[in-house]
Amino acid sequence: MSDTLTHAPEDRALRQWTFRHPARVKIGSDAHTQMFSRLLLEAHNPCKAAVPDWPPLPPDALRRLTSLPVWNIARRTEGRGSSRYFHCAS
């Protein structure tokens, strides 16, 4: 079976997230803003490159990979994105 057909437990919050509001929510309303903010705060699952079970790499290959400029750019971009989401949602 393809890995893309399975879900990590960390994704459960997003896949099963619900907003506790008794009525329909009008787009653009305060309730809509609150719903979107709650979704970001409760279901955001930031990328953590160190968490997946990556295949073992020889030390020289790991050093080459982590020394690529794109490695740090991706980590900084993810960090800034997470900060923005949490700031906007609070």
Each residue's pLDDT tens digit, 48-60 = 666 667 788 899 9
Instruction: Kindly give the residue spans of alpha helices, DSSP state H, lying in 1-90.
Output: 12-15, 30-43, 59-67, 69-89
Q: What is the pTM for the complete model shown?
A: 0.41
Residues 40-59: b if buried by 16+ CB within 10 A, e if exposed: beeeeeeeeeeeeeeeeeee
Each residue's pLDDT tens digit, 56-76 = 889 999 888 888 888 778 778
Q: In this structure, are residues 39 and 17 in contact, taking their beta carbons and an 8 Å threshold?
A: yes
Enumerate the domain spans of the chain: 1-45, 47-90
